[in-house]
Amino acid sequence: MGQRTTAFLRRVVTPARYLGQEHNSSRKDPSTVRVRFALCYPDIYEIGMSHLGSHILYATMNERPDTFCERAYHPWDDAVALMRQEGLPLATLETQTPLRELDFVGITLQHELNYTTVLSLLDLAGVTLRSAVRRPAEPLVIGGGPCVYNPEPLAPFFDCFVVGEGEEVIHEVLDLYVGGNWGRTGQRGAEQRADLLARLAEVEGVYVPALGTERPVRRRVLPSLEAVPPPTRPVVPYCQVTHDRGQIEISRGCTRGCRFCQAGMIYRPVRERSVQTLVDAAAALIDNTGYDELSLVSLNCPDYSEVLTLVDRLHEQLAERRVGLGLPSLRTDTFSVELADRIQQVRKTGLTFAPEAGSQRLRDIINKNVTEADLLAASEAAFKAGWHRLKLYFMIGLPGETDDDVLAIGDLVAKVLEVGRETLGPSRGRLALNVSVAVFIPKPHTPFQWAPQLPVAEVLQRQQLLRERFARLKQVRLSCHSAEQALVESYLARAGREAAELTEAVYRAGGRFESWDDRFDLSRWENAAAAAGVDLASEVNREWPPDRPLPWDHIHSGISKAYLWAEWQRALAGELTGDCRLSGCTDCGVRALGAACPSGGR
């Protein structure tokens, strides 16, 4: 933010976003370090501070005596206007140093609709947007996160990307930088910058767009979570943030094989932390933060091999301090009365089930491997354990979906509602179901990466079907995601480098915070697409042929293209594929990354 002044803070809506100096934030003398790294999230403070991956990287980099990792988030509109008015560049929270004066500007790429905000963040920092014309003395702009599995839409704006898990590779990047003679920011020449990028490209998992796509880039995988303790001193925000609780990652990866799920593919293989490591880390985290709720983070917590033991041990450790345990979205086949009873010993935090589709036929297409009976049994278990409120998560627009499948969502929710009424008895009046219905978006490195997305008009028609069906269901709140935002997200998810021009045009037209419903404007994207000769609908609403080159073919996630194509064909045939931890290796290819696979397969 530049020089922080009392007058400035008095003129913004939420000053706590810009204060810095929070509890557990890193404090170092910048003159004593060799590398200064700005870790940025392209959204406001409340959202960025809730991102667990940022806390992990912040902790691991600041353990190094030669590195000072600081944070920056995108300011809200009132602060942006003041910064423009007063000529203040975006700066770090820790020392109020302008980002353009640091060695690295690292940006988390979590969601495609953040892309215009990425450009706004760089622009506010005074960093040249295009890497090809970026001055040699400017910081290196490095990206990471799930969106780098197709980095091409943002490739012209980044000097390099880290593909995969960052806990090890970030140290290799920093070691290379410290050990070389490439000049500090402000002193580096063009030849030094080019040499540095060439050396970075030799680090496994690092992709340098300026050097082309001929060199395959293999995803970095952390061989063992046990070797990297979870952060136990996360920065505690001054204001309430989106996830205002402690977070601890109990496992990484999933073998369930849902065909729409990118995370289930790109985070393989499954790795777990031991119960003792987690119990010790949880106690330290609560001691260091004072949180009264702890979220156990995993793609599906009940798949953790010792989940009941873990929950019992955590309660033993934390119950006297009135710390509640929370679980993220759950598959409906792994929840039990026993687990429900155990996690609610202190207080009942939120509970979300994700059946994804209303009909069994469609659940088989997406390889969800759960049944209606599973959901009803899980719901009954939750109600018996004392929950009165559940959230259910579905999608529409999945491959092979019909109107009957959409209406089946309403039928299934009605059955859950009836189970709740019967189970809760006299307290049934407190029963409430929140139903969230997203629009399916085909993502890279999934079996559905070749699938068409449902046209906007058809999405709107099916959403109307849902609203009419749910109008008869009292005690149910329906939330439908934007069909227009889904169109743009789908385009950016599978676009090539040509999307950079379009994205920059949208930013220049005022686009930022596009993931916010009230800030998204489809006309900006349509105008930019028309100027670039791109038909958004034709790009996303048709099935891609198997011989079409994919913009991300040079990014190797570890899951083979042959496996993904075979799974796409099995989906079209309505065939199920089992969980490899239960039914044997499915030959997905992840072993090629050199990581241990719990299925024992290849």
Q: Lowest-pLDDT range, 178-187, 225-234, 390-399?
A: 178-187
β-pairing, 217-218 with 140-144? unpaired
DSSP lists the bridge partners of residue 420 as: none
- Residue 311: what residue type? V
Which pair of structure tokens corresponds to residue 372? 């209606």
Fill in the DSSP letter of residue 437: E
β-pairing, 104-108 with 35-41? parallel
- Residue 393: what residue type? Y
**Residue 148 and residue 493: Cα distance in Å, rounded?**
10
**Residues comprising the chain, all counted:** 602
**Residue 413 and residue 394: Cα distance in Å, rounded?**
10
pLDDT of residue 599: 61
In this prediction, residues 240-246 reach a mean pLDDT of 93
**Given CA atoms 63, 65, 67, 68 in this order, what sign does their dihedral have?**
positive
In this prediction, residues 505-516 reach a mean pLDDT of 97
Look at residue 350 and tell me whether its pLDDT is greater than 80.
Answer: no
Closest Cα partner for 266 from 581, 576, 488, 552?
552
Helices (H) and strands (E) in the chain, counts: 21, 17
Fill in the DSSP letter of residue 1: -
pLDDT of residue 2: 41
Which pair of structure tokens corresponds to residue 217? 């880039």
**Given CA atoms 406, 407, 413, 415 in this order, what sign does their dihedral have?**
negative
Fill in the DSSP letter of residue 89: P
Task: Give the CA-trace dihedral at 15, 17, 18, 19, to 10 degrees.
Answer: 80
Q: Using an 8 Å Cβ cutoff, are 4 and 96 in contact?
A: yes
What CATH superfamily is the domain 245-483+556-602?
Answer: tm_1862 like domain (3.80.30.20)
CA-based angle 421:424:425, to the nearest 5? 80
Q: Using an 8 Å Cβ cutoff, are 352 and 331 in contact?
A: no
Q: Where are the alpha helices (DSSP H) in 448-596?
A: 456-470, 483-494, 499-508, 522-532, 536-540, 561-572, 580-583
**Residue 303 and residue 334: Cα distance in Å, rounded?**
7
**Residue 483 and residue 454: Cα distance in Å, rounded?**
9
Give the count of alpha carbons within 13 A of 585, CB side only. Answer: 14
CA-based angle 535:538:540, to the nearest 5? 110
pLDDT in tens, 368-405: 999 999 999 999 999 998 899 999 999 999 999 999 99
Residue owning tokens 């969980």: 579
DSSP lists the bridge partners of residue 40 as: 72, 107
Look at residue 176 and tell me whether its pLDDT is greater than 50.
Answer: yes
Query: Strand order of the sheet with strand 246-249?
Result: 246-249, 293-297, 324-326
CATH 3.80.30.20 in the chain, residue ranges: 245-483+556-602
Q: Is the peptide bond before 399 cis (omega within 30 degrees of 0)?
A: no
pLDDT in tens, 61-77: 999 999 999 999 999 99
Query: Strand order of the sheet with strand 352-356?
Result: 352-356, 389-396, 432-439, 476-480
CATH 3.40.50.280 in the chain, residue ranges: 6-218
β-pairing, 67-73 with 104-108? unpaired
Q: Using an 8 Å Cβ cutoff, are 390 and 455 in contact?
A: no
pLDDT in tens, 104-135: 999 999 999 999 999 999 999 999 999 999 99
Neighbours of 436 (CB within 10 A): 17
**Residue 367 and residue 398: Cα distance in Å, rounded?**
12
Q: Using an 8 Å Cβ cutoff, are 122 and 157 in contact?
A: yes
Look at residue 181 and tell me whether its pLDDT is greater than 80.
Answer: no
pLDDT of residue 582: 87
pLDDT band at 1 (very low <50, low <70, confident <90, very high): very low
pLDDT band at 339 (very low <50, low <70, confident <90, very high): confident
Q: Which CATH number fits domain 6-218: 3.40.50.280, 1.10.10.10, 3.40.710.10, 2.40.30.10?
A: 3.40.50.280
> What is the distance of C-alpha 27 from the center of its chain?
28
Which pair of structure tokens corresponds to residue 404? 């009957």
pLDDT of residue 602: 40
DSSP lists the bridge partners of residue 293 as: 324
> What are the b/e assignments for 498-515, b being 16+ CB within 10 Å?
ebbbbbbbbbeeebbbbb
pLDDT in tens, 34-62: 999 999 999 999 999 999 999 999 999 99
pLDDT in tens, 528-568: 999 999 999 999 999 999 999 999 999 999 999 999 999 99
pLDDT of residue 284: 97
Q: Is the peptide bond before 151 cis (omega within 30 degrees of 0)?
A: no
In this prediction, residues 259-265 reach a mean pLDDT of 96
Cβ contacts of residue 3 below 8 Å, gap of 6+? 88, 96
Closest Cα partner for 35 from 233, 182, 189?
182
- Residue 392: what residue type? L
Burial of 518 (0-12, 13-18, 19+ CB in 10 A): exposed
pLDDT of residue 522: 97
pLDDT in tens, 281-311: 999 999 999 999 999 999 988 899 999 999 9
Rg (CA), the chain: 24
**What are the backbone angles phi and psi of residue 390, rounded to the nearest 5°?**
-130, 155
**Residue 305 and residue 384: Cα distance in Å, rounded?**
24
**Residue 356 and residue 463: Cα distance in Å, rounded?**
15
Angle between helices 166-179 and 190-200 (to 10 degrees): 140
Q: Using an 8 Å Cβ cutoff, are 329 and 305 in contact?
A: no
**Residue 504 and residue 118: Cα distance in Å, rounded?**
10
In this prediction, residues 330-355 reach a mean pLDDT of 79
